[in-house]
Structure 1
Amino acid sequence: MTQLDQIQQFMQQVLGNDETGHGTDHIERVLALSNTILEHEPSADPFIVRAAALLHDTYDDKLFSDVVAAKQRVADFLNSIDVTKAQQTAIFYIIDNMSWSKSLDGAAPLDINGQIVQDADRLEAIGAIAVARTIEYGVHAHHALYDPNIKPRHHMDKKEYRKGSSTAINHFYEKLFLLKDYLNTDTAKKIGAGRHQFMLDFVHQFEDEWQLKK
């Protein structure tokens, strides 16, 4: 069994019961998207990219109340399968700086490996599956689906973004509609364009139906 196979098994153990839209199916899609982008980025390190893609939600502060302990569990596991310290440093650097919420407070710049994983994760937040995941997470977090009297928030820092006082539909305006302009690689930009248009069409149709315009 390869190190990546073992990392995949570890991820499945950690996230197998997730109900927020960040479960194993999400991780597998991020991995697949990372592999697609890797085909066009020969300078990238496939192991670092794939490992970071598999592990990127295993200590996410949306999912774990004790992030320090969750991250240490990942480090202990990587040590147990002889992932080198240099590889671990690269993997953790990507995970610690790739998220949208982190970027609101000024994340450190990513190299091509991190840009690939970040693009793959952001593509997962654009398109039809993103619509379903947004609603799924909104239900989990007890957010309202839509309220035209609650306006989208703008110019937020991470603390404000994490308050979660907005609605599921507002999340499109607050984050998802913005993502296509923050993709790094040409491959991701091509994939993201069609997905972005789908979300625009969905939200506009939703709002029109809510207001009985259609």
Structure 2
Amino acid sequence: MAPSTDAFRQACEAEVLRLWGGKPDGAHDLGHLRRVWANCQTIAMDEPGADLQVLLPAAIFHDAVNLPKTHPDRAQASQASAKVAVDWLGTQAYPADKLDAVAHAIAAHSFSAGIEPTTVDARILQDADRLEALGALGIARMFHVAGATGGLLFDADDPLARHRPLNDRAFALDHLEVKLFRIVDTMKTATGRRIAEERAEWMASFRSRLLREIG
């Protein structure tokens, strides 16, 4: 990247903070955006054709429009984020021929959007963001979101849902089986999958320890 990478990232972050009204939530804050950008750089090293000039704004803007999971327009949030990113980048000294690539990467990163990533940069961003749902960070964000939405840590009578349907809206621990463990099989890059497998293994160990502690 050019020597102005940090200044450009900071400008992107400032615009996203403005769009958030200066009030990010605990699971989607500047730390999350910066970690996704760091993940992008790690994965890109092993992906021929990766373009960091596309990935930087895509990583910082991917949650620019951040709607609650229960919002009726949740599935359109990534496409709305792509639009605000392109609109803003169009006012900056940013290459116009990369705008479509940025937009597609942002739109395709989301689970709920159901858009298949068709470029190397879109695959990298999707993996980079999904890594945030795994490992220690994944556990922390899982319980944070559950608390914010009124969910319990787990079902005290049946924490592994052996005799009831899984319900991750009611019980945070159910989210491991409902979604998080399944992320490993969705990874699009070899590096992303390797990191995902390691983090998922740690999460399984955490769950085993938790179950021992609660008897």
The aligned length equals 198
Q: What is the deviation of 1:85?
A: 4.4
Secondary structure of 2:112's aligned partner? helix
1:113-132 counterparts in 2 under 5 A?
Answer: 113-132=121-140
Looking at structure 2, the residues matched to 34 and 69 of structure 1 have their Cα atoms a distance apart, in angstroms, of 21
Aligned-residue CA RMSD in angstroms?
A: 2.6
Deviates more, 1:138-147 or 1:75-84: 75-84
* Correspondence for 1:83: 94
* Correspondence for 1:21: 27
Per-residue Cα deviation, 1:6-51 (whole angstroms, up to 9, x for no partner): 2133234445532231111111111111111111223111111121
1:64-143 counterparts in 2 under 5 A?
Answer: 73-103=84-114, 107-143=115-151
Secondary structure of 2:139's aligned partner? helix
* Correspondence for 1:8: 13
TM-score by length of 1: 0.80
1:112-191 counterparts in 2 under 5 A?
Answer: 112-147=120-155, 148=158, 151-152=165-166, 165-191=169-195
Identity %: 27
Alignment partner of 2:48 out of 42, 46, 51: 42
Task: Label 1:166 to 1:51 Cα distance change in 2 as closer, same or farther (>3 A).
Answer: same
Looking at structure 2, the residues matched to 34 and 22 of structure 1 have their Cα atoms a distance apart, in angstroms, of 17
Looking at structure 2, the residues matched to 92 and 20 of structure 1 have their Cα atoms a distance apart, in angstroms, of 25
Looking at structure 1, the residues matched to 100 and 174 of structure 2 have their Cα atoms a distance apart, in angstroms, of 36
TM-score by length of 2: 0.79
Q: What is the deviation of 1:84?
A: 4.4
Looking at structure 2, the residues matched to 69 and 121 of structure 1 have their Cα atoms a distance apart, in angstroms, of 17
Q: What is the deviation of 1:115?
A: 0.7
Task: Label 1:205 to 1:51 Cα distance change in 2 as closer, same or farther (>3 A).
Answer: same
Task: Label 1:129 to 1:36 Cα distance change in 2 as closer, same or farther (>3 A).
Answer: same
Name which structure has the greater RCO, CA cutoff 8 Å, separation 6+.
1
Q: Which runs of 5+ in 2 are unaligned?
A: none
Task: Label 1:185 to 1:58 Cα distance change in 2 as closer, same or farther (>3 A).
Answer: same
Task: Label 1:89 to 1:32 Cα distance change in 2 as closer, same or farther (>3 A).
Answer: same
Whether contact under 8 Å (2:55, 2:121) holds in the other structure is yes
Whether contact under 8 Å (1:151, 1:170) holds in the other structure is no
